Amino acid sequence: MVLYGTSRINERGHLEIGGCDVVELAEAYGTPLMIYDEVLIRRQCRAFVQAFQDKGMKAQVAYASKAFSSVAMCQLIEEEGLSLDVVSGGELYTALKAGFPPERIHFHGNNKSPEELNMALEAGIGCFVVDNFTELAMLHTLAEARKQQVKILLRITPGVEAHTHDYIATGQEDSKFGFDLNSGQALQALKQAVNQPYYHVLGLHAHIGSQIFDTKAFQLVIQRLAGFVQEAGNELGWPLSVLNLGGGFGIRYTREDTPLSPQEYVYALCDGVKQEWQAINQPLPEVWIEPGRSIVGEAGTTVYTIGAHKEVPGVRQYISVDGGMSDNLRVALYQAKYEACLANRMTAERSEVYTVAGKLCETGDILIWDLPLPPVKQGDLLAVFCTGAYGYSMANNYNRIPRPAVVMTRDSEAHLIIQRESYEDLLRLDVPLVSKVTQK
Ligand SMILES: Cc1ncc(COP(=O)(O)O)c(C=O)c1O
Ligand SMILES: N[C@@H](CCCC[NH3+])C(=O)O
């Protein structure tokens, strides 16, 4: 079994994260419970920043808050000195309420509304990543009405296919994101943008997908963008000061996954940019990245209480837990794979094989197929590792299941950072029926 960050097995044979006994956390906060290892999150932030420093490269590391956004998380990112990438008014609002410095916020998204753009203009955010021609025209009109200069990056679709699940690949030509490079859209957008008086075009952005294990696709993107910069430079005499290469760095969900370290990803990006920019004889741009999953993914663990057991004779044994696709949609959506253990009996021999089902009313609500575990009893605690990215952030209330509580642990202390949703919370927005049926 892979133990991440500060996790260990303590003297009682229990899983411990950040010095806190997970069994005690489950008693104190209930289950399902999400536990974040604060030390591991900070370690990842620092590793990315340090790697750019090692290479002497001007850089910005922006945490992609879509992976997990909350007030406390934004505050931690601010303390670590990173920038923040948001993709909606809601993520922006969370960051602003957390006191995150607006000038370090980058705004993404393929369909930002006028209200969202105005909110970001009003806040004075650092940069907009403009995704399409509709936004290019609309943002400028809004900026002009406010007589406000805005910094932008253009999101480019480089035509590079990342080796990952189809639903999380974004760099291919047929994508809803960005200005396509091959068809000439990107050049057309750039020409338009540099001629708009309220735009300051900082540079280009490309994000090819998520959970990527090697650097080949990134190298190809850098090459394509260098070619574009040369072409655009010749035509427009346009200096590029920022090259944002997105996020997408992989993590180890299971033993089969073999991601690189933050350092290895960053070194490869820096070397690639240096080499390609030398070849086109242009001054080096700042390199920006936007990791999400690789900052929070391995730091998150979800703890469930095991309930029902069912055997399909000769086929499999199901055990059901008190959450499921309401707190982790990734298995149903991407056939994602996870590893797990019994947090209250870490050293017991794993002599059985179970399929872990959620409690939602869907056949596809399975969290893990064929998981070796010790013989389980009702009330045992199942800890699923590596749920820190796109778990809580994609949580939902299907079957009116309240979303879990979230704690962060460090130095043997746990801090609640998101309260468990209550049934009252579920009804907060409901409005009773105004009946038109007359009583007989
Ligand atoms: C534009 C953009 N930047 C950054 C990210 C973060 O990706 P990851 O969490 O894989 O690092 C994403 C998500 O894939 C994205 O779409
Ligand atoms: N939510 C996805 C990744 C999408 C990233 C956003 N572009 C996941 O869980 O893997």
428 labelled binding-site residue: no
**133 & 279 share domain:** yes
Do residues 249 and 111 both lie within one domain? yes
**3 lies in a domain?**
no
Q: Which ligand is nearest to the CA of 297?
A: 1
Within-domain flag for 278: yes
Which of 132, 166, 210, 333, when mutated, tests ligand 1's pocket best, judged by the most ligand atoms within 8 Å of its CB? 210
Cα of 251 vs centre of ligand 2, distance in Å, is: 13
- Per-residue pLDDT tens digits for 382-423: 999 999 999 999 999 999 999 999 999 999 999 999 999 999
Residue nearest to atom 4 of ligand 2 (CA): 168
Going by C-alpha positions, the residue among 191, 400, 414 that lies closest to residue 303 is: 414
pLDDT tens for residues 124-139? 999 999 999 999 999 9
With respect to residue 440, please indicate whether it lies within any of the assigned structural domains: no
pLDDT at site 440: 62
* Single residue among 296, 325, 349 that ends a domain in this structure: 296
| Residues 336 and 4 sit within 8 Å (Cβ to Cβ) | no
- Ligand 1, pocket-test mutation among 68, 207, 295, most atoms within 8 A of CB: 207
Q: Round to whole Å and give the CA distance between 155 and 185.
A: 11
Q: How does strand 179-180 pair with strand 150-157?
A: parallel
pLDDT at residue 387, as a whole number: 98
Q: Domain of 415: which CATH number?
A: 2.40.37.10
Q: What is the pLDDT of residue 163?
A: 67
Domain assignment of residue 324, given as a range: 8-30+299-427
Distance CA 116, CA 430 (A): 25
> Which pLDDT value is given to residue 167?
57
How many domains does one find in the chain? 2
The reply to whether 269 falls in a domain is: yes
Find the residues whose C-beta lies inside 6 A of ligand 1. 64, 67, 85, 108, 170, 207, 210, 246-249, 290-294, 389
Q: Both 214 and 102 in a single domain? A: yes
| CATH code, domain with 249 | 3.20.20.10
Q: Is the ipTM of this complex over 0.85?
A: yes
Do both 110 and 239 map to the same domain? Answer: yes
Question: Which pLDDT value is given to residue 2?
Answer: 83
For the chain, residues with pLDDT lower than 50 are none
- From 278, 296, 314, the end of a domain falls on 296
Q: Do residue 21 and residue 44 come from a single domain?
A: no
Residue 86 is encoded by which pair of tokens? 């948001």
Task: Specify the pLDDT at position 248.
Answer: 96
**How much is the pLDDT for 169?**
60
